[in-house]
Amino acid sequence: MAHRHVVFTVPKALRGLFERERRLLGLLARSAHDATRGWMRQALGMSSGLAGMVSAIQTFGSYANWHPHVHALVTAGLVERGGGFDGLAHFDASAVEGRFRHLVLGRLRRAERLSASFHETLLSWEHSGFSVHAGEAISAEEPESLERLARYMTRAPVALAKVFPQKDGRVKLLTPPDPKTGQDSRLFDPLDFVHAVTTQIPDPRQHMVRYQGAYANRVRRLYRPEVGESEEPEDRSSAAPARASDGEVEDLPEWSAQRRRSWARLLRRIYEVDPLVCPRCGDALKIVAVITDPVVVDRILSHRKKRELESPFEPRAPPA
166: left (phi over 0), alpha (psi -120 to 50) or beta: beta
Q: What is the pLDDT of residue 265?
A: 77
| DSSP structure class, residue 227 | -
pLDDT over threshold 60, residue 200: yes
pTM for this predicted structure? 0.72
* pLDDT band (50, 70, 90) for residue 228: very low
* pLDDT band (50, 70, 90) for residue 41: very high
Angle, helices 25-44/93-110, rounded to nearest 10 degrees: 140
Rounded average pLDDT over 70-94:
91
Q: Which residues contact 147 (CB under 8 A, 6 or more apart)?
A: none
Of 197, 234, 241, residue with least CA distance to 218 = 234
Q: Which residues pair with 74 in a beta bridge?
A: 4, 53
Q: What is the pLDDT of residue 239?
A: 40
Give the lowest-confidence range in 103-107, 236-240, 288-292.
236-240
Domain boundaries, the chain: 3-153+200-223, 158-190, 236-320
pLDDT tens sequence across 185-199: 999 999 999 999 999
The total number of residues written for the chain in this structure: 320
Name the helix (H) or strand (E) containing 85.
Answer: strand 85-87
pLDDT over threshold 90, residue 220: no
Q: What is the pLDDT of residue 227?
A: 47
Helix residue ranges, H only, the chain: 12-20, 25-44, 93-110, 116-124, 143-153, 190-198, 254-260, 262-271, 294-306
pLDDT tens sequence across 116-172: 999 999 999 989 999 999 999 998 888 889 889 999 999 989 888 899 999 999 999
Q: How high is the mean pLDDT of the chain?
A: 84
Helix (H, G, I), strand (E, B) or coil at 18: helix
pLDDT over threshold 70, residue 301: yes
Helix (H, G, I), strand (E, B) or coil at 56: strand
Of 66, 67, 62, 36, residue with least CA distance to 49 = 36
* pLDDT band (50, 70, 90) for residue 274: confident
pLDDT over threshold 70, residue 178: yes
Pick the more confident residue, 72 or 218.
72
Question: In whole angstroms, what is the distance from residue 13 CA to residue 205 CA?
Answer: 27
Q: What is the pLDDT of residue 253?
A: 58
**C-alpha pair distances (Å), 85 with each of 77, 141, 219, 225:** 7, 16, 16, 10
Q: What is the pLDDT of residue 249?
A: 45
